[in-house]
Amino acid sequence: MRKKIALIGGGQIGQILAMLAAQKELGDIVILDVPDYVNVCKGKALDLMEMAPHGNYDASITATSDYKDIAGADVVIVTAGKPREAGMTREDLLNVNIKIITEVANGVKQYAPKAFCIIVTNPLDAMVYVFHKVTGFPKHQVIGMAGTLDTARWRAFIAMELGVSVADVAGTVLGGHGPDMVPLPRLTTVGGVPLTEIASPEQIDRLVTRTREAGTEIVKLFGKGSAFFSPAWSAIVIAESYLKDKRRVLPCAALCEGEYGVNGLFIGVPCLISAKGMEKIFEIKLTEEEKAQFQKTVASVTKTVSECKI
């Protein structure tokens, strides 16, 4: 029997998630959205089914506005929420998206209580916290996508800056999904060569700044809306590692219970994603400067989460 993937939200990210999941044959796909938008989602699902003969994949792709249709889902990926627009901070999204995520969490809790849940909705660090609180799911079952995306951006910008293959760039980004995130140049390599040995301090500073502002850069270019290709692929990487037990070590927003000196917050940290879900958090020994940066991002996440009043 095929696995079942529920995509909560059928907008730009949701439709790309559906296409990628189908192309990778991760399982059958159900797209869920509000009644006013569900016919559009049904059209997208049908379009993807009609693409299957040329796409060479077998998957059932449907759309619904009824949570009972996600029953038994193995993976739930949540993108539902108001997108960020130019001039809007992630914090501006907080109140409206808390209501949406609360409704989603209750629906998932009722109909897919065993699903591995990947949250994409912004402001992500707060939304994954709210989802976890409302569902009461164990920590291994709920993850925030952000760190995987932030690290992809870090690697992409390095490859672009240095004119090298992105496949040879390895690194990680810690912390919240915002301007205080913590790229780690010290632990980043290009083909095994430390980044600090082949890039100037000025280049590294520029790369760190661009990574921290990557989402805003795209929002400004779009004028309305935010990134969709890269967040979708980042969520699929996490889902695939779970569904296929690939045991990838991926930076994700995970619930820390003492790791990195953090308690009760979802923070971007390296995680082992296996068939058990978020199986383990890996702790990195940080320098004093990195610790200070990490504490700054923790403070930002703490502030945003406190505003959720949940």
Residue 281 to residue 261: CA distance in whole angstroms: 13
Q: Which of 206, 208, 184, 182 is nearest to 194 (CA)?
A: 184
Residue 116 CB-half CA count within 13 A: 26
The label of the residue with tokens 């923070």 reads 267
CA-to-CA separations, 227 to 205, 217, 275, in angstroms, rounded: 23, 10, 28
Residues 6+ apart with CB under 8 A from 276: 140
The label of the residue with tokens 């995509």 reads 7
- Cα 139 → chain centroid: 16
**3 state SS for 157-198:** HHHHHHCCCHHHEECCEEECCCCCCEECHHHCEECCEEHHHH
The label of the residue with tokens 């993850």 reads 143
DSSP letter, residue 120: -
DSSP letter, residue 16: H
Tell me which of 54, 132, 140, 177 is the catalytic residue. Answer: 177
What count of other Cβ atoms lies within 10 Å of the Cβ of residue 134?
A: 18
Residues 6+ apart with CB under 8 A from 113: 135, 137
Tokens of 80: 């539902």
Residue 276 to residue 153: CA distance in whole angstroms: 27
Strand partners, 6: 30, 76
Phi/psi of residue 122, nearest 5 degrees: -95, 155
Active site residue 177: yes
Tokens of 89: 């901070």
Catalytic residues: 177
